[in-house]
A = this chain, B = another copy of it.
Amino acid sequence: MPLPLPVLPEGVDPAWLPPAAFRAVGSRRTLIRGSAPLVETVHGEVAQACRRFGGRVVRGVVPDDAYDLVLDLGTEGQESLADEGFTCARERGTTTVTASGGRGLLYGLFHVVRLGDAAFTGERARETHRPALALRMLDHWDNVAVHPVMGQVERGYAGGSLFWRDGRARGELDRVRAYGRLLAACGINAVSVNNVNVHAAEARLLTDRIGEVADIAGALRPYGIRTHLSVSFAAPITLGGLSTADPLDEAVRGWWAEATRRVYEAIPDFGGYVVKADSEGQPGPFAYGRSHAEGANLLAAALEPFGGTVHWRAFVYDHRQDWRDRTTDRARAAYDHFVPLDGEFAKSAVLQVKHGPMDFQVREPVSPLIGAMPRTRLAVELQATQEYTGQQRHVCWLGPMWSEVLRFRHEHDQSVGELARGGLVAVSNAGDDPFWTGHPLAQANLYSFGRLAWRPDAEPRAVLDEWIGLSFPDAPPQVADGLHAVLDGSWRTYEKYTAPLGVGFMVQPGHHYGPSVDGYEYSPWGTYHFADRDGIGVDRGVKSGTGFAGQYGEPWAGLYASPDTCPDELLLFFHHVPYGHVLKSGKTVIQHIYDTHFEGVEEVEEARSVWASLAGQVDPARHARVAERYEEQLRGAREWRDQVNSYFFRKSGVPDGRGRRIY
């Protein structure tokens, strides 16, 4: 039975799967071979497209030559494709996709959809497609109950949760299924359905409320997506009534084994646990004098018999730091905590590391931890939700930033994309907003994440082309040009009007939206710029500073060690320099601050007018929402510019070289 497509509620944006994206497939004759649950998903997709565009689809073992497209779930000679790979070729008027697993066939279909008419013209040599990373995951920071501070979705800027509302599962499984379909179309294959900060209501998803998780898993399964769950390390106490959560305690191990067995009874293909332990107030193994490897291995042991994995987050640092103490450096913390444990993590444990050493700033160096744990499965965590990058009110396409991170080569010439053997994870930016991501253009971040997780060395502009082609299938060419114009440079634009030269954290405390240069300067969060009347930046060098630069291998340790060799964009992350320090660009630090802040605003003004020129050429609802957000972005960018420039002018006393207005 072909699986019917989920029906979207009235007014919900189709994102990158509008009906018109299926015109090429839907107007042709398709043969589907093979049998597996996901083949029904594939059949449903093609059948729906054919209904709309007049094509035909049949199943069975019949000759290929009467068909434009053959989708073939074979079983022989395709071991190398595993579950997710596929091949695509075209000869003698027939395009053939082969796969050995249901996911592969689904991904192959979406590949053909992306190609559009090009999939059905000329000849195509056989290409084999396999994901570079086996796990391509979204972590939803969704709360079941509305948290008094964090709301329904922690750091959520796209409405409510797709899964939960006011303490309950929403049960709107068609919307969940539609979400899974979008994720499958960009290659995502795993979703964690609740916040890593596991509050009381959320903790119970593991036990008596597992049925609610099973319903979500059932809606995502037809799109090849496994469901994961964030759990509390203290669950044996809070849920099990034990007196300890010590990972070496036999009763604790037994409790987790039994709890996990029941989870798999409810969800046979359950993906595993996500754990934030000993971090920002969450419980963890430190309370029992145990290491994080011992903590992670406890859960790995419970999951291993069922093929599940524990994702253990490396985001562990002192969030009660004294700002007076310049010897402690939060940037060092993950490395200091975890490198000594390399080799001690079990096979079913994945250490999940944020891409930078701090916390998803618009500019950070790549975490040195990623290059320093060869005997540990690492997953790299990105942030699709724009906590520090404009909160989906500002356009900030993160594809180029993520690509830089993934292509960054640690010592022994291994890129982050290669080192992330445990997968690539993003904190989700999706919610029940009609546009899924609040800002319609933020859909590009979600799409780009999936595609970069599939192929970390992909060219981000090419990924953006895919997204544009799918999302705006009938638009004239100037729409694609316009979208590139407003998206390509948007990350650097955002960087320009917010945080100069890698300094970070000049944001409003708590909610992190809008400028506050000293907002985190005297805080316990380990986030400082040390600006005084003479200069700014954090000395993280080995000789005179915190030593963080020494956590890198070469060539980075050497490059970061000196302000003369440190890349400009990270200068203030690694060094405290006078305002008059001359950058490689030839400008002084202070003039760079002024210039980039003026430029950033000008670039937003320009992007806004490019967007305005697209009126009438894109869907009116999308156009209106983006136009409205540009007003807020421009207001925000001006506020950033004026506050940051005024702050540094008042502190440095150095006038702008071009005499522009600073308050």
By a beta-carbon cutoff of 8 Å, the part of chain A in contact with chain B is: 323-324, 515-518, 522, 531-534, 639, 642-643, 646-647, 649-653, 663
Contacts of A533 in B (CB 8 A): 533, 650-653
Distance of A147 from chain B, by nearest CB (Å): 12
**9 A-B pairs in the complex with CB atoms less than 8 angstroms apart:** A323-B663, A515-B522, A516-B518, A516-B522, A522-B646, A522-B647, A532-B649, A533-B651, A533-B652
Closest chain B CB from A381 CB (angstroms): 30
Do A643 and B522 touch across chains, with their CB atoms under 8 A apart? yes
- By a CB distance below 8 angstroms, the chain B residues around A653 are 532-534
> A635 to chain B: closest CB distance in Å?
11
Q: How far, in angstroms, from A324 to B641 measured CA to CA in the complex?
A: 12
Say how far A533's CB is from chain B's closest CB, in angstroms: 5
- Within the complex, what minimum Cβ distance (angstroms) separates A564 from chain B? 26
Bound state CA distance, A518 and B508, in angstroms?
Answer: 11
Across the interface, do B663 and A324 meet the contact criterion of CB distance under 8 Å? yes
Inside 8 A of A515's CB, which chain B residues have their CB?
522
Q: Contacts A324-B642, A324-B663: A650 and B532 contacting too (C-beta < 8 A)?
A: yes
What is the chain B residue whose CB lies nearest that of A508?
B509
| A103, chain B: closest CB distance, angstroms | 44
Nearest CB to that of A323 among chain B residues?
B663
Main secondary structure of the interface of A (DSSP, over half): loop
**Minimum C-beta distance from A513 to chain B (A):** 13
A517 partner residues in chain B, CB cutoff 8 A: 518
The smallest C-beta distance from A656 to any residue of chain B, in angstroms, reads 15
Alpha-carbon gap, A522 to B645, bound state (A): 12
- Decide if B651 touches A532 in the complex (CB within 8 Å): yes
Contact partners of A639 in chain B: CB under 8 A: 522
Q: Which 9 A-B pairs have the closest CB atoms?
A: A532-B650, A324-B663, A522-B643, A533-B533, A518-B518, A533-B653, A533-B651, A651-B651, A324-B642
Q: Which residues of B contact A652 (CB under 8 A)?
A: 533
What's the Cα separation between A652 and B323 when bound, in Å? 20
Nearest-neighbour CB distance to chain B for A599, whole angstroms, equals 20
With a CB–CB cut-off of 8 A, which chain B residues contact A534? 653
Other-chain residue from B516, B642, B650 in contact with A531 (beta carbon distance below 8 A): B650
Alpha-carbon distance A653/B531, docked complex (angstroms): 12
In whole Å, how far is A334's beta carbon from the nearest beta carbon of chain B? 26
Q: How far is the CB of A653 from chain B (nearest CB, A)?
A: 5
User: Which chain B residues border A643 with CB–CB below 8 Å?
Assistant: 522
Residues of B near A651 (CB, < 8 A) are 532-533, 650-651
Which residues of the partner chain B approach A650 to less than 8 Å between Cβ atoms? 531-533, 651
Shortest Cβ gap from A152 to chain B (Å): 13
